[in-house]
């Protein structure tokens, strides 16, 4: 059954209890951080609402009337219950704010997320983080379903239903084993030649595949792949064993290019730059640890 309009709000009851305990509207107002005129007006408003006088006022202070003593006792139970509720809600929020679930594309998870999470741990060591990996299409689905507080995707745009912010820039590179004919070419591979060549590629739904397919569309489209693999590690291994040219994130091949286990092949007439984005549902801006992590992505990534 809904409460009647005669029941005062919790703030008014807290004020009445403070007056009864301190014997003065002025002292009660000071304790609660309000002005004395505002406190007096609130007491008068509560008396009108209830329909009885609650305080006897004199030059020496204020004390409850006979009816006021009854209301004070009832109010004490209500305020104590409200304080218990407040403490419980605070505990629930604390537990929620101490957890962060992130789902990220494989490139972001492997090459950028470790530095971001290290920085998060330094500023919020009590936050327990769960990191899940998926291709960009699945990241978007998880975030839309509410399975994660924050997502990170690769690709040319923000997935439908999500808002986002660019957190890093990346570039795809074509790499081959040192023994591959393209490694010894004097000139670059053309975009049309790359489009006609069966490549070792990431699976459909990955941000890497999406960017490459869009870039090659004006040049005849991507040829049927020689292999489709689901991770950068597998792609690199395939390239090093001579399976064919591979297109993957520049972040993933820094060490292999430096040690000449793979060779980068220049491609003429093709822009393979892409943004990396943090994403969240439209209308629900990240809060708590998710907002903190989002801010940290703007800072330089630490590498071990």
Render pLDDT for 185-219 as a digit per residue (tens, 0 to 9).
989 999 999 999 999 999 998 889 999 999 999 99
Beta-bridge partner residues of 275:
169
Measured in whole angstroms, how far is the alpha carbon of residue 184 from the centre of its chain?
A: 45
Closest by Cα among 72, 80, 31 to 55: 72
90 Cβ contact partners less than 8 Å away, ≥ 6 residues apart: none
pLDDT at 302: 44
CA distance 189 to 167: 30
* Closest C-alpha to 183, from 141, 231, 221, 239: 239
The HSE-up count of residue 54 (CA atoms within 13 Å, CB side) is 28
pLDDT score of 285 more than 90: no
pLDDT tens-digit map of 122-151:
988 888 999 999 999 999 999 999 999 999
Asked whether 208 and 214 are in contact (CB, 8 A), the reply is no
The Cα 182–Cα 189 span in angstroms is 8
Mean model confidence pLDDT for the chain: 89
- Reported in sequence order, the residue ranges of 177-229 that DSSP labels E, i.e. its strands, are 189-190, 200-202, 227-229
| Total residue length of the chain | 304
Residue 303 has pLDDT above 50, yes or no: no
pLDDT tens-digit map of 100-124:
999 999 999 999 999 999 999 998 8
The residue ranking higher by pLDDT, 96 or 167, is: 167
**Which pLDDT score, from 0 to 100, does residue 301 have?**
45
Residue among 152, 178, 176 at smallest CA distance from 166: 152
**Eight-class DSSP state of 266:** -
pLDDT, greater one: 133 or 97: 133
């Amino acid at each position: 059954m809904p409460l009647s309009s005669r029941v005062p709000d919790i703030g008014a009851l807290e004020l009445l209890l403070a007056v009864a305990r301190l014997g003065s509207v002025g002292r009660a107002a000071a304790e609660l951080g309000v002005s004395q005129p505002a406190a007096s007006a609130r007491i008068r408003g509560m008396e009108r609402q209830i329909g009885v006088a609650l305080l006897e006022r004199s030059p020496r202070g204020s004390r409850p009337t006979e009816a006021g003593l009854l209301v004070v006792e009832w109010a004490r139970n209500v305020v104590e219950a409200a304080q218990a509720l407040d403490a419980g809600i605070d505990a629930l929020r604390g537990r929620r704010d101490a957890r962060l679930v992130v789902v990220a594309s494989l490139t972001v998870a492997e090459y950028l997320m470790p530095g971001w999470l290290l920085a998060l741990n330094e500023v919020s060591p009590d936050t327990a983080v769960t990191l899940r990996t998926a291709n960009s299409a699945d990241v978007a689905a998880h975030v839309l379903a509410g399975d994660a507080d924050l997502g990170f995707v690769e690709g040319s745009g923000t997935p439908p239903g999500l808002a986002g912010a660019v957190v890093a820039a990346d570039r795809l590179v074509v790499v081959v084993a040192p023994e591959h004919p393209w490694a010894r070419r004097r000139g670059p591979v053309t975009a049309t030649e790359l489009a006609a060549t069966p490549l070792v590629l990431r699976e459909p739904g990955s941000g890497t595949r999406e960017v490459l397919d869009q870039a090659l569309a004006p040049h005849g489209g991507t040829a049927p792949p020689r292999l489709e693999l689901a991770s950068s590690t597998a792609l690199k291994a395939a390239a090093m064993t001579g399976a064919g040219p591979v297109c993957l994130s520049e972040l993933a091949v820094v060490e292999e290019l430096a040690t000449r286990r793979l060779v980068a092949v220049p491609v003429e007439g093709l822009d393979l730059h892409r943004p990396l984005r943090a994403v969240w549902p439209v209308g629900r801006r990240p809060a708590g640890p998710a907002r903190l992590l989002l801010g940290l992505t703007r800072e330089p990534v630490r590498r071990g």
